[in-house]
Structure 1
Amino acid sequence: MDVLALIGRILFVLLFLGSGFAHIAQADAMSGYAASKGVPQAKLATVASGVLLVVGGLMVLLGVWMDLGALLLVLFLVPTAVLMHAFWKETDPQTKQLEMISFQKDVALAGGALLILALYAGYGEELGLTITGPLF
């Protein structure tokens, strides 16, 4: 089961690590999109969210205070779902559908991160293949 948990963690964080590095490396392009959604200080928010994604993703991947890493991912995902993918504000049907899909993806990933937080906080080192035990 330890190897299975590790494989699950690897698959789970691939999205966050790729997206986090893109937020940092392509901050100018991505901050334009954030600004169009009304995010204040869009470039700073884009870079900060990229750092949050990378740090949270690495913590879950490596098993270093994995509960905190999962919480960091939730702190990114929930506001992003609401602020960046507000499908209820869209009038174009295709745009509305795309934003709803992105909103639901973020909410589902937040649920997965909360599940990781709960499992790791409850079972801790019994999940195996981690560097540290839970922080919380």
Structure 2
Amino acid sequence: MDVLVLIGRILFAALFLASAVGHLTQTKAMAGYATSRGVPAAVPAVLGSGVLLLAGGLSVLLGVWPDLGALLLIVFLVPTAVLMHAFWKETDPQARQMEMVQFQKDMALAGASLMLLGLIAHADGELGLTLTGPLFDID
């Protein structure tokens, strides 16, 4: 089971780490898009979300308090879904559908992150192949 969880963590974290690189290297372009979606203080928001993605992704990948890393990803995903993919505001059917898919993807990833947080915190270090045990203790 340890190897399966490690492979899952690697595959899961890869998405967030790649996104973190984009946020931190293409900040101006991403801030322009965030501004167009109505996000206030877009540049700090993009940088802050890039840091959340990087910290959460590395934490899950390396197994350094991976439950905390999963929580950081939730903190990124839920507001992003609501602010950036507000499909209910779209009037064009094609744009509405595209934003709905992105909203659902972010919410599904938030759900997976929540499950990961619970699994890691409940396992209390029994999963192995991590650098530290969980930060949280959920019985």
* Deviations 1:59-85 (CA, angstroms, capped at 9, x unpaired): 001110111100000000000000100
Q: SS state of the match for residue 125, structure 2?
A: helix
Match of 2:81 in 1: 81
Match of 1:95 in 2: 95
If the length of structure 1 is used for normalisation, what is the TM-score? 0.98
* Deviations 1:7-45 (CA, angstroms, capped at 9, x unpaired): 000111111000011001000000000001111110111
Amino acid at match of 1:8: G
Identical columns (%): 68
Q: SS state of the match for residue 43, structure 1?
A: helix
Match of 1:105 in 2: 105
Q: How does 1:29-68 map to 2 (within 5 A)?
A: 29-68=29-68
Taking only aligned residues, the RMSD between alpha carbons, in angstroms, comes to 0.6
Gaps of 5+ in 2: none
Q: SS state of the match for residue 124, structure 2?
A: helix
Higher helix share: 1
If the length of structure 2 is used for normalisation, what is the TM-score? 0.96
Write out the 4+ residue segments of structure 1 that deviate beyond 6 Å after TM superposition. none
Aligned length in residues: 136
**CA offset at residue 124 of structure 1?**
2.3
Match of 1:117 in 2: 117
